[in-house]
């Protein structure tokens, strides 16, 4: 795979280079120069394939020129080792549970795959790297879990103080080993800015081997396409048009779906659903992209005011607004609507949604109101509801059942280092 920068001011790189650089020097985003289509024969037999087999075909098609097939298989089998159930709510609406991994959120796909890809390349060159991650919650826990104990890799996680749930904070701050948590006195955008500034700081980048694990890393993006194929495989026999709704913040998850689409996955439409941070729905509906300061909501993993994958999203459509608008519908919902959706789905289907997934469910409801055709919709369920019991329990009156893995983690003691939003403080910490 060759990759270019969306800002177009630097030379093309290999997949390996893009994985370790994270961001190109011109501050754009790496994108494949070419996205190959999967053959018709793949889609004809896709319903017979396991998740791992689908993931292998997709990965081998994209990066088979840089990693031998046997090594790709090992990376897939080791990283994609949990269930991905598709739950039917009614004949038009399904929920794809992406939260059965160790951190109970969809970011496990990207983080686990990326950790193993990095280890694979590092092993060959006996190198050491420092990974910086800004998180609004789930990225951090997925990366921490994904990289825990990885040889030659130090991970520093920046999270906004008081802006992540108690359970999420425990997941970020209790692992130890090669994982360090920084509690930043600011919002998510401040954390992201510290990380982005670090990557552009000449002194830091010459002294340290910095790398990112945010959704901007291309190795995070590829595995986020797997489950779109998987959902299609489960529903292919119905022959109904397929619409995905992705509850979104930085839009890495949705970009995974767009890559699947570009590889030939038959999708009728994508729905971009957001909370009050409605920058992308507003772009889709008006044609104007207006980054704003993020506003806090109950679906806080999507509280993003300047979605970092936006340039990728439009690049996939040749930067043509009309083409983006044709393929992606956009809806935004406030916290009251989100709570009502959690209540409604609990009462109607005896199914508990996390607040993010509830935003996705609302996106599907809004879409179906205008849709005349008999279609399948798939809501991507991005987190286990028990991770957000502080929101969910008061709404439905019972605590969502907590998996035993999370019960163990919240018993442990938090260890975090306080950090200001001043870049010089952060830099001094890193150089120490
Ligand atoms: C990160 C996250 C999102 C948003 O995903 P993006 O790829 O940033 O759009 C949605 N829900 C949950 C639970 C998340 O952790």
| CB of 380 sitting under 6 A from ligand 1 | no
Q: pLDDT tens, position by position, for the chain (432 residues)?
A: 999 999 999 999 999 999 988 889 899 999 999 999 999 999 999 999 999 999 999 999 999 999 999 999 999 999 999 999 999 999 999 999 999 998 899 999 999 999 999 989 998 888 889 999 898 776 788 888 899 888 789 999 999 999 987 888 998 999 999 999 999 999 999 999 999 999 899 999 999 988 877 668 999 999 999 999 999 999 999 999 999 999 999 999 999 999 999 999 999 999 999 999 999 999 999 999 999 999 999 999 899 999 999 999 999 999 999 999 999 999 999 999 999 999 999 999 999 999 999 999 999 999 999 999 999 999 999 999 998 988 999 999 999 998 988 889 889 999 999 999 999 999 999 998
Given this model, what pLDDT does residue 214 score?
65
Given this model, what pLDDT does residue 405 score?
84
CB under 8 Å to 369, separation ≥6 — which residues? none
Q: Where are the chain's structural domains?
A: 84-105+220-402
Per-residue b or e along 248-259, where b marks 16 or more CB atoms closer than 10 Å to that residue's CB: bbbbbbbbbbbb
Q: Report the sign of the C-alpha dihedral through residues 329, 333, 337, 343, in that order.
A: positive
| CB of 382 sitting under 6 A from ligand 1 | yes
Q: Going by CA atoms, what residue is nearest to atom 1 of ligand 1? A: 301
The rounded distance, in Å, linking the Cα atoms of 102 and 82 is: 9
Given this model, what pLDDT does residue 215 score?
65
Q: Is 151 a catalytic residue?
A: no
The rounded distance, in Å, linking the Cα atoms of 47 and 54 is: 10
Question: What CATH number should be reported for the domain whose range is 84-105+220-402?
Answer: 3.40.50.1100
The helix/strand count (H/E) of the chain reads as 20, 14
Angle CA(142)–CA(144)–CA(145) in degrees, nearest 5? 65
Give the distance (Å) from ligand 1 centre to CA of residue 353. Answer: 14
CB 195, CB 188: distance < 8 Å:
no
Closest alpha carbon to 223 in 65, 383, 112: 112
Give the distance (Å) from ligand 1 centre to CA of residue 304. Answer: 10
DSSP H or E stretch at residue 418: strand 417-419
């Amino acid at each position: 795979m060759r990759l270019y920068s969306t800002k177009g001011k630097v030379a093309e790189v290999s997949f390996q280079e893009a994985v370790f650089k994270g961001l190109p020097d011109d501050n754009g985003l790496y994108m494949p120069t070419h996205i190959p289509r999967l053959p018709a024969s793949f889609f004809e037999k896709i319903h017979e394939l396991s998740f791992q087999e689908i993931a292998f075909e997709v990965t081998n098609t994209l990066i088979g020129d840089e990693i031998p097939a046997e090594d790709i298989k090992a990376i897939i089998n080791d990283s994609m080792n949990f269930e991905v159930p598709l739950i039917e709510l009614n004949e038009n609406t399904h929920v794809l549970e992406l939260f059965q991994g160790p951190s109970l959120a969809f970011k496990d796909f990207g983080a686990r795959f990326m950790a193993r890809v990095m280890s694979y390349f590092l092993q060959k060159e006996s190198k050491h790297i420092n990974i910086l991650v800004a998180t609004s919650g789930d990225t951090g826990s997925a990366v921490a879990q994904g990289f825990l104990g990885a040889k030659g890799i130090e991970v520093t996680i920046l999270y906004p103080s008081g802006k992540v749930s108690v359970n999420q904070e425990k997941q970020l701050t209790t692992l130890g080993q090669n994982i360090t948590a920084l509690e930043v006195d600011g919002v998510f955008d401040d954390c992201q800015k510290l990380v982005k500034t670090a990557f552009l700081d000449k002194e830091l980048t010459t002294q340290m081997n910095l790398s990112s694990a945010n959704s901007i890393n291309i190795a995070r993006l590829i595995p986020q396409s797997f489950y779109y194929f998987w959902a299609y495989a489960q529903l292919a026999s119905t022959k109904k048009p397929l619409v995905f709704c992705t509850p979104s913040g930085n839009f890495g998850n949705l970009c995974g779906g767009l890559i699947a689409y570009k590889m030939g996955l038959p999708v009728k439409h994508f729905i971009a659903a957001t909370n009050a941070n409605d920058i992308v729905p507003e772009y889709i509906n008006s044609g104007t992209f207006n980054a704003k300061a993020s506003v806090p909501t109950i679906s806080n993993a999507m509280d993003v005011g300047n979605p970092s994958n936006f340039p990728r999203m439009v690049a996939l459509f040749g930067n043509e607004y009309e083409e983006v608008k044709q393929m992606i519908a956009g809806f935004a919902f406030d916290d009251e609507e989100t709570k009502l959706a959690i209540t409604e789905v609990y009462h109607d289907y005896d199914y508990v949604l996390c607040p993010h997934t509830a935003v996705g469910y609302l996106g599907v409801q809004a879409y179906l109101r205008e849709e005349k055709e008999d279609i399948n919709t798939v809501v991507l369920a991005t987190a286990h509801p028990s991770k957000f019991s502080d929101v969910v329990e008061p709404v439905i009156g019972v605590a969502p059942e907590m998996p035993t893995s999370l019960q163990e983690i919240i018993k442990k003691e938090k260890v975090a280092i306080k950090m200001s939003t001043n870049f010089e403080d952060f830099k001094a910490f890193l150089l120490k």
